[in-house]
């Protein structure tokens, strides 16, 4: 420890050099992760425009509220955070066709009240088909969830 302090006392510019090196390493990592993120979002946008991704809309029956902590798995072993669409008014998940298990929690209220009750986590199985949007429905009274076909007046 005394040796390190004596080196720093003799050559104080070493501290500045080490901090500069760490700064540039962190900037390189930031640029790399930013490019990777942009590439991912560009790919998702292309897939959405081509219609490869289907939308799974979320709805709560007999109450009001929000879905949160939504996780998706195909194999039952590894869970991923769900990717939501960029629509503001009607939340939906963007998924490739296949069989999924969805785990979610909700913050719900039965009537017009500022107080929410947190419920969950719940699990539901989804079948996502090509070019077909569906609705994941959660019943606030029975705590059951199921899948329905998407219709404009269904939300």
- Interval 71-89: pLDDT, tens: 999 988 899 988 887 777 7
Reported confidence tier of residue 140, pLDDT bands at 50, 70, 90: confident
DSSP character string of 24-70: HHHHHHHHHHHHHHHHHHHHHHHHHHHT-SEEEEEEEESSEEEEEEE
Provide the pLDDT confidence category of residue 154 given band limits of 50, 70 and 90. Answer: low
CA gap 59, 142 in Å, rounded: 14
> What was the pLDDT predicted at 72?
92
pLDDT at res. 64: 83
Domain residue extents for the chain: 2-47, 54-154
Check whether 1 has a pLDDT greater than 70.
Answer: yes
What band does 100 get if pLDDT is binned at 50, 70 and 90?
Answer: very high
Mean pLDDT: which of 22-26, 94-98, 128-132 is highest? 22-26
pLDDT for the residue 27: 98
Q: For position 41, what pLDDT does the model report? A: 86
Which CATH code for domain 54-154? 2.60.40
Which secondary-structure segment (H or E) carries 81?
A: strand 80-81
Contact 107, 140 (CB under 8 A): no
């Amino acid at each position: 420890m005394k040796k390190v302090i004596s080196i720093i006392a003799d050559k104080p510019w070493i501290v500045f050099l080490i901090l500069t090196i760490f700064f540039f390493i962190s900037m390189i990592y930031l640029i790399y992760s930013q490019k990777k993120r942009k590439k991912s979002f560009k790919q998702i946008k292309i897939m959405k425009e081509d219609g490869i991704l289907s939308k799974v809309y979320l709805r709560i029956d007999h109450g009001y509220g929000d879905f949160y902590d939504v996780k998706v798995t195909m194999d039952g072993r590894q869970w991923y955070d769900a990717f939501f669409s960029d629509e503001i008014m009607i939340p939906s998940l963007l998924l490739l066709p296949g069989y999924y298990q969805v785990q979610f929690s909700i913050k719900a209220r039965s009537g017009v009240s500022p107080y929410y009750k947190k419920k969950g986590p719940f699990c539901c199985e989804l079948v996502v088909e090509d070019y077909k949007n569906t609705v994941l429905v959660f019943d606030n009274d029975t705590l059951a969830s199921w899948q329905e076909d998407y219709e404009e007046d269904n939300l």
